[in-house]
Chains A and B, each alone.
Chain A
Amino acid sequence: MSKREILWEELLREELLRLANVHLPYTKKTLKELLSEKYPHVVCRDGTMHMFRRKELEFLKNMLAEDEWDKILLPIIIELNPSYGEGAAIVRGEMEVKVVAKVLGLDVKEGTKEIIIYRPQIGVLREKLRTVTQIAFSLKSIMV
């Protein structure tokens, strides 16, 4: 295979990765930042604006202590990961796990940094927090 073809293949893979996760934001924002904005939003990789519903932000504000508002980064990414099985997803981050566990009524230890959730739970989570969560494909699901 020529160098050009290898490069072409790599480009296709990159494109695949980009296309699969275009709806993810360039940078996440903390809850504190978003609460202070008049129109809370983030910019996605495809250049579109993703706005947060104020009601959902207020819900998170009431759920977390004031010193935790600048520790949680939004939107919360629900990462579909094939290595945990079909339909399984992982949520990373201490605060993010705390929020997800509270919404789903799961019992997790303090300081847990990762949680695995399954398709029905993703449905419940998305129904309650549609704008503050985003589903993403993990790198593995694209490259494997």
Chain B
Amino acid sequence: MAKLKETFKLKPVYLFLTALAIFLLALPQFGGRYLTYIVIHVMLLSLLGLSVNLLLGYTGLLSFGQAAFCASGAYGCAKILLAMDSPSLLAGVFGGLLIAGAVALVIGFLCVRHTDIYFAMLTLCFGMMIYSLALKWRSMTGGDDGLVGIPRAPLEIPGLFSINMSPMENYYYFVLIMTGIAIFLFYRLVNSPFGLSLQSIRDSESRTAFTGIPVRTYRLIAFVIAGLYAGLAGVLLPPLENTVTPPIAHWSYSGEGVIVALLGGIYTFTGPIVGALLFFVIKDVIMRFTEYWLFWLGIIVLALVLGLRGGVVGAIQRKFLPKMTL
């Protein structure tokens, strides 16, 4: 107990994390359906932001194609859930993730041999190819109508347990757990030897190669992992909305991932998570006053990105917590 007290005294960040965990766990009890629904979306956008940041902040690659993996996961999950006689949420989620990972592997193989603007443009092109498929391959994707009637299947392992996901709060807890696990794994990843390798590639590709690291292979692995994170953001969406439509594959959705990463801070771990929260708060507040919310959102995001070098978290870290890694 004494040790626990000492830890909390030394690291107020633990207090903050504990308070945040309590808030998130209790949210469905006091927040109502709308807030619960919005927080699910914040979590999904956080995952997309983390996906972008693994490439941009940690590996030095700007991708405008993360929506493609989000869409691959979402459509994959939706097709699996629609095809099953008795749909299983886990089958849909992990099947969708597998598809997103496979698509990321193929696109990544073709993209990671390039860097800078060439990489950005290639990911944009491949992303829009996936968007075109979602829009035009009507027999598979439902075209611009998308896929509808996707069930929020129960979370079950036959013979072990089955949890009904129809109530929003149950699905919220599922998304919270999945996001929590994903964020924890992301933290371990970026602080591991592999994470250090990615950061070194970001700083100097040639120097990294001269430490004996195969740069292209590492970039491809990072690309696939980033694809899986975007895919996770995608697979969790159809059971929530009961539908999936082509805009999820559009480059502007990839752009949202880039914006939240920049907003929060690309050289920070928590930046994309804070960025996703800010994005939704700003969007929600502005939408109450004007239908031209995108215009005002653009101005605010621009001011924050230009005014706060390194994003919101980066600025806080520099100003108040220079010795801490946020």
A binds B: no
- Which residue numbers of A lie inside 8 Å of B, CB to CB? none
